[in-house]
Structure 1
Amino acid sequence: MAIPEGYAVAPTTTDHMVKIAVPVPGRENPILIEAPKLAWIPPHEVDAYQDWMKPFIEAEAEVIQWHTDNDDLEESKRSEFPKSAEDLVAGLTIRETKVRWLKPYLTAVDYKLLATSKKIPEKTIDWVVDQLKASSDDVTPGEYSASADS
């Protein structure tokens, strides 16, 4: 694409990519992640994440509403508890909500390992998320990291 002279070029997702290697004890190769920072996730992936989260959010709201409506009632006057909603929420891990953004950028095996492996400490997952959340304000188009790093 040719940009006419004098025009500023708006940054894109590819201008804000991070590359992260996550070592996995007992595995020869690390999990290699190349993904945009969260502020630069393409809209269709944000929509996909929201679609994935929606059943969990609705189930949690259903359980909360049940408690609001029933906790002060006698046992015999309570409505049926939404056990399936509670089970759905119970099956969701905080780790998976953190790493789900990376699913489009990983193989199925690497994603499952990142989301479920007991060999990868929670602090490692938190560090990866911190890298994805890091501000992109100091990165200009065409750079992977700020010039100050070089």
Structure 2
Amino acid sequence: MALDIGGNSVSLERTPDGRRLVVRRDVTAPVDAVWQVLTDTDCWPDWGPSVTAVETDSRYISAGSTGRVRVAGAVWLSFDVTACAPYRWTWDVARLPATGHFAEERSGGSVVGFEIPPLATGYAPVCARACQRIATIATRRNE
């Protein structure tokens, strides 16, 4: 059963990493535009409500990318991208499994979403806000 929270669908689902709370949002932009926003570290502070800065060697992430993110404007946390294939990537933050990120093709556009580990379900409103911001950025870039 999915709940609607501010235009985002939220449901408990089985993902490649096990059961996760999944937050997703329809986007009018193509899946490649959404994917570019998700993987472009220069954009992370624009769409990630908790991310204020990113340091990494490569602007676009891939499997094995490492770096650090500044959260809450003050704390730097290391990250490791554990998997990155077209339209889905996962990472560990401070050596802990964190959110999965994905984009899906859909008729008339795409979907953006996050997979939240069970112990971090309180992060769902943050991910919902991120989905909204990603949709806006990807749609503007595609116009």
TM-score band (shorter)?
under 0.3
- The structure with more helix, counted as a fraction of residues: 1
Higher strand share: 2
Larger radius of gyration: 1
TM-score calculated relative to the size of structure 1 = 0.25
